[in-house]
């Protein structure tokens, strides 16, 4: 019995490589089989069969600057054919990404070369997306996150905080809100946060009776709420994920001014904190209420395993203090970027250089863990975005949709806001990629705002704050897939908790648009 207890309280038992691989459902397997044929059929039909007459009525006065320049260069007939090719590639790529018929990074490589071969984009533009400043910030963030992992700062902080403040079930859940929020400041990959925290909350779950296939409401709460916290804390900061940075770049390109770290945090952080606390109440009070037995440790001295893990780390060393100093400086510069004007990418560059400096720095290049397959996927998404920009396809589709739906310049702002935010948040039930949803909805929000005469920020920024709602079903995001493998909850559990939180997030977004966002000058006065 002692051996069994020591096993379930051993943090190494919950390393990622030891987690069970989630078996795909029959529906997912079917989608993988039909994905490639569906993508090919869609491409051929859009390119050569369908009568897309709305492309013949492109309003040159509604085009963006990039598309107008392209139109003037190649002429209207070629511009229409380029739009057709862009639409065909976009739909085909979307099908491949959704069905996961082939790895997402391979889909990205295929769409990049297809955009070149169909002459939608010149080679220089298509291949240059791997050098996009957001790509650089992603790479640099992984370097900085590796520094924290290598020195043990992130793990030490999480263990210390749980032991210091996790005196009972409620305080443990609240502690993980704080831990996730702090980690989100300097780790821009949600999967990396899940990897760091999973062994810790799995041991805590075991202490409270959820282990070895035995499910209870504490286990359901600790995993599902951490999944929510991982994503919501990321939404609170511009650097919380690569998708946030991409959204900010798209918005900045449309309004002509930078979206600063401090601007994003001012708008997003309160919403993120409210949703994490709501998740705690919904989980522990409504869907998975804790019995008296589940509110107290089931294993005598169970938290001692975490204390022993922290003890094994020893006293904080000089390298850890250096890592903290570097990150404190980086966060300070990020939070004050509206005053000094230095971009988050430039700040991260300096931080990464210091971290890698021989003798002075903290990590060596071989210690850095950069997931290049994710970066290649992102490069494909950014290249697709460049194609959408040069063809202005989102504006064309928005204009056509408005004509068909009878939406005019007199349509109330609140009606458009509710429609677009609802579509954005619930689209995560279909799309696995936050980057892809960003590429679809942020340009649409900008196009709709421009069409109706509103500030682009009024729709684009609230849509951006809904990017991270990818926790309802196991295939909605990488952390969701990872945490589902813990076997602490079922599809029904995650769906009813997740869909409820999505509805609450939608309602909160509308409420904020009517109040707080107005005060910040994001949404217009007098239109709600």
Q: What pTM was computed for the model?
A: 0.76
> In which band, very low, low, confident or very high, does the pLDDT at 306 lie, cut at 50, 70 and 90?
confident
The Cα angle at residue 138 between residues 134 and 144, in degrees rounded to 5: 135
- The mean pLDDT value of the chain amounts to 83
pLDDT at 87 over 50: yes
pLDDT at 57 over 70: no
Give the chain's length. 528
> In which band, very low, low, confident or very high, does the pLDDT at 38 lie, cut at 50, 70 and 90?
very high
Residue pLDDT, tens place only, 250-300: 888 777 777 888 899 999 999 999 999 999 999 999 999 998 888 877 766
Residue pLDDT, tens place only, 214-229: 889 999 999 999 999 9
Res 155: pLDDT: 78
**Other C-beta atoms lying within 10 Å of the C-beta of residue 507:** 11
CA distances from 128 to 114, 135, 261, 347, 379 (A): 15, 11, 25, 22, 9
Res 432: pLDDT: 67
Residues near 25 by beta carbon (within 8 Å), at least 6 away in sequence: none
Res 2: pLDDT: 42
Res 8: pLDDT: 54
CA distances from 457 to 63, 250, 256, 417, 460 (A): 18, 11, 11, 12, 5
Give the residue, 9 or 347, on which the prediction is more confident.
347
Residue pLDDT, tens place only, 411-456: 788 989 999 999 999 988 877 678 778 878 888 888 888 878 888 8
> In which band, very low, low, confident or very high, does the pLDDT at 117 lie, cut at 50, 70 and 90?
very high
Res 23: pLDDT: 66
Token pair recorded at residue 476: 């909605």
Instruction: Write the Ramachandran bin of 474: left for phi over 0, alpha for psi from -120 to 50, otherwise beta.
Output: alpha
Res 3: pLDDT: 42
Range scoring the smallest mean pLDDT among 190-199, 313-322, 402-411, 433-442: 402-411
Domain ranges of the chain: 1-130
> In which band, very low, low, confident or very high, does the pLDDT at 54 lie, cut at 50, 70 and 90?
confident
Res 14: pLDDT: 54
Q: What span, in angstroms and rounded, lies between the C-alpha atoms of 268 and 255? A: 19
Per-residue pLDDT averaged across 76-85, rounded?
83
pLDDT at 4 over 50: no
Res 441: pLDDT: 87
């Amino acid at each position: 019995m002692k051996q069994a207890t020591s096993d379930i309280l051993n943090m190494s038992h919950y390393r990622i490589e030891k987690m069970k691989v989630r078996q795909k459902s029959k529906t997912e397997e079917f989608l993988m089989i039909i994905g490639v044929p569906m993508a090919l059929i869609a491409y051929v039909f859009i390119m050569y069969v369908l009568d897309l007459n709305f492309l013949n009525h492109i309003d040159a006065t509604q085009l963006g600057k990039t598309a107008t320049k392209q139109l003037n260069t190649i002429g209207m007939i070629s511009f229409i054919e380029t739009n057709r090719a862009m639409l065909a590639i976009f739909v085909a790529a979307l099908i491949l990404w959704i069905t996961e018929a082939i790895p997402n990074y391979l889909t990205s490589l295929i769409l990049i070369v297809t955009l070149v071969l169909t002459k939608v984009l010149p080679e220089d533009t298509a291949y240059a997306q791997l050098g996009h400043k957001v790509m650089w910030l992603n790479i640099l963030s992984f370097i900085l996150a590796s520094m924290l992992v290598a020195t043990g700062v992130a793990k030490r902080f999480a263990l210390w905080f749980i032991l210091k403040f996790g005196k009972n079930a409620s305080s443990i859940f609240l502690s993980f809100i704080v831990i996730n929020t702090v980690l989100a400041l300097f780790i821009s990959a949600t999967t990396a946060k899940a990897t760091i925290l999973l062994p810790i909350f799995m041991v805590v779950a075991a202490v409270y009776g959820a282990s070895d296939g035995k499910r209870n409401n504490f286990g359901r709460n600790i995993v599902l709420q951490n999944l929510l916290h991982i994503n919501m804390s990321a939404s609170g900061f511009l650097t919380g994920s690569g998708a946030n940075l991409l959204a900010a770049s798209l918005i900045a390109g449309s309004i002509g001014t930078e979206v600063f770290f401090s601007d994003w945090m001012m708008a997003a952080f309160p919403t993120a904190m409210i949703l994490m606390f709501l998740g705690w109440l919904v989980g522990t009070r409504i869907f998975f209420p804790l019995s008296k037995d589940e509110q107290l440790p089931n294993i005598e001295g169970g938290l001692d395993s975490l204390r022993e893990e922290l003890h094994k780390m020893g006293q904080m060393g000089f390298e850890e203090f250096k890592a903290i100093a570097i990150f404190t400086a980086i966060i300070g510069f990020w939070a004050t970027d509206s005053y000094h004007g230095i971009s988050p990418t430039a700040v991260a560059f300096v931080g990464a250089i210091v971290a890698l400096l021989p003798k002075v720095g903290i990590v060596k290049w071989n210690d850095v863990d950069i997931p290049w397959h994710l970066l290649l996927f992102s490069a494909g998404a950014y290249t697709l975005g460049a194609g959408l920009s040069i063809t202005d396809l989102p504006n064309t589709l928005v204009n056509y949709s408005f004509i068909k739906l009878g939406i005019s310049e007199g349509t109330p702002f609140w009606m458009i806001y509710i429609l677009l935010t609802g579509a954005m948040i619930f689209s995560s039930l279909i799309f696995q990629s936050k980057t892809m949803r960003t590429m679809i909805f942020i340009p649409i929000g900008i196009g709709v705002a421009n069409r109706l005469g509103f500030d682009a920020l009024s729709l684009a920024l609230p849509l951006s704050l809904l990017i991270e709602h990818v926790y309802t079903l196991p295939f909605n995001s990488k952390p969701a897939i990872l945490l589902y493998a813990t076997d602490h909850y079922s599809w029904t559990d995650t769906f009813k908790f997740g869909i409820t939180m999505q509805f609450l997030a939608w309602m909160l977004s509308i409420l904020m648009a009517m109040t707080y966002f107005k005060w910040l000058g994001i949404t217009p006065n007098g239109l709600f």
